[in-house]
Amino acid sequence: MATGILKVDGEKVVDEKGATVVLRGAGIGGWMNMENFITGYPGHEHEHRAAMLKVLGKEKYEYFFDKWLEYYFTEQDAKFFASLGLNCIRIPFNYRHFEDDMNPRVLKEDGFKHLDRVIELCANEKIYTILDMHTVPGGQNPDWHSDNATNQAQFWDFKDHQDRTIWLWEQIAKRYKGNPWIAGYNPINEPCDPEHWRLPAFYDRIEPAIRKIDPNHILWLDGNTFAMEWKFFDKILPNCVYALHDYSMMGFPTGDRFKGTEEQCTKLERQFKRKAEFMTKNKTPIWNGEFGPVYANPRLDADAEAINTERYNLLSQQLSVYDKYQIHWSIWLYKDIGVQGMVYTNPESAWNRLIQTFLDKKRGLQLDAWGKYPSKEAEEVLDPLVHWIDKVSPTAKDTYPGPWATERHVLRAVFQTFLSKSFAAEFAELFKGKSMEELDALAHSFHYDECLQREGLNKAMSSHAKVHGEKQSIVMSKEDEDTSMEMEQGQ
C-alpha cells in the first residue's frame, strides 16, 4: 500500500506520514510517445503512423499498434524493474492519443487504455509513475521527440496551443486525482522558449488550473532549453519539483571518450551544479528527469566492449554525483532496439531482422540525431554547407537553441526533418502484405520474454537505486556558475 499521495516538504519529497521518498528509475521510452531511434522509423511519429496506415489499412494498423503498445510493457517488465530496487517510471505520452488537431477539446477515451494498464501494473509492484506530456500541441521544442515536423516550437506563439494543453491536463487530473501511486504530473517535456519568459508564465497558468481539480499531486516542472536553463524563473510554485536534464557528450559517439580523469569528473559535477542552481538557491527538491549514454553496437564498433565499459563508468560517475546530493533521477530509457535501453530487442527478433537494412541506411544519412554516427557521405554534403552559412552569416550559429550551433540546426532542418520525412513511406513498405500473425510477431519482438538486458547499465542503476549516507549541500563556486552550456543534450 502507498502511504498517501507524495508531496513536497522543503527540499524533500515525503509521503503522508512525513517519511522521505527519493524517486529513482527510468523513462519508459518511446512507447506512448514514439521516437525514431527507439523503434527504427525515420522522422516523426505522426508521419510514421500516417505512412503505416496507408500501407496497412485501418484494421491492420489499429491491430498492430494496439498489440505493440500491449507487448512493449507488461507485468514481466514491471516485476523486472522492481527487482532492481527502482521505484519510479516516467511515462512520456503524445497528446495525439487523447485529442485530435481537427477535433480539439474532445477527449479520446480509448487513449487511456494502455496508460491505465501500465499505471496499475507499476502500482502492483510498488512503482510510482510520473505522467509526462512529451508532445504538446504546436510543439514545445523544435526536435523530433516533441513530434514536431516543422522545426519551429509554435506552442509559444499561439495561445490556443497552450490553452489546449491546459485543457488536456485538466482531463488527466480528473482521471487520476487521488491515485497515490502517481507521483505527479510533468506538464511539458524539454521546453524551448526562445524568449525564456513565456515558460514560467505558462507554469503560472497551468499550476492553478490543475490544482483546482487535483490539489494534491506534485507538479514536476522542466527548465527551459531542454531543461537546462532558468532565466526569468523568479519564484517557486507550491508543491512543485523542478527538473533538469543532464546528458553528457562523453556518452555519445561524437563526444570525447570517458577515461575517468579528474578533469572529466569535475566537469560532470560542474555541469550538474550549474543546471541545479535555481533549485539550490530556492532550496527545492531536484529531479534529473533525463540522462544517460548511448551504447556501442558490436556490428559497428570493433571496440564496442571497451567503449561500453567507459560508458558504464561515465554513468556510475554521474550516479555518484547524484548520490552525493541525494537527488531524484529518471534515466533515459527503459526499452528500445539496442541504442540506450535497459532492455532491448534481440538483433535476431522479427522486428530487427525486418528493419536492419533500413537502419543501416538511416545511419549513413544521419537521419537520427540521437546516437548519430560519423558518416563520410553525409559530412561531405553537410560540412561545406555549414562552412558557407557561417561565412555569409556569422550570427547564424547563435540562433536559439544556442547550444546547437550551425551544424545542429542544419542537420535538424534538412537531414532530420525534410529528408527524413521522404523515407517514411519506404519504411512503412517493409510491412506491406504482412498478415495479422506476422504483425503480431513483429510487435511481440518488444515483449520482455524476447528482449535482452543491458547488464552493465542495470547493475549500475541497481547499485545506486537506494540512498546511502548523509546528503551534502550543493555549494556553487564561480567556476560552477561560469561553466558554459555546451551541447550537453547529447547531440
Q: Which residues are catalytic?
A: 190, 290
**H or E element that contains 151:** none
Cα dist. 135→43, 97, 165, 465, 488 in Å?
Answer: 14, 10, 10, 28, 21
All three cell numbers of 229, joined, read 536553463
Q: Are 255 and 274 in contact (CB under 8 A)?
A: no
DSSP states along 347-379? TTSHHHHHHHHHHHHHHHHT--STTPPP-HHHH
Provide the H-helix boundaries in 84-184: 113-124, 159-176
Q: Are 185 and 213 in contact (CB under 8 A)?
A: no
All three cell numbers of 289, joined, read 528527469
- 52-80 as b/e: b if 16+ CB within 10 A: beebbeeebbebbbebbbbbbbbeebbeb
Q: Which residues contact 423 (CB under 8 A, 6 or more apart)?
A: 42, 43, 361, 362, 367
Q: Are 378 and 365 in contact (CB under 8 A)?
A: yes
Look-up of cell digits 480528473: 174
Query: In angstroms, how far is the first alpha carbon of the chain from the final one?
Result: 41
Does the bond joining 221 to the residue before it have cis omega, within 30 degrees of 0?
no
For the chain, the C-alpha Rg in angstroms (whole number) is 21
- 89-114 as b/e: b if 16+ CB within 10 A: bbbbbbbbbbbeeeeeeeeeeebbeb
Q: Select from 429, 450, 436, 338 the least CA-distant residue to 67.
A: 436
**H or E element that contains 198:** helix 198-213
DSSP states along 13-76? EE-TTS-B---EEEE--SSBS--HHHH--SS-HHHHHHHHHHHH-HHHHHHHHHHHHHHHS-HH
**H or E element that contains 111:** none
Looking at residue 443, the DSSP 8-state letter turns out to be H
Looking at residue 108, the DSSP 8-state letter turns out to be -
> Collapsing DSSP states into helix, strand and coil, what is residue 345?
coil
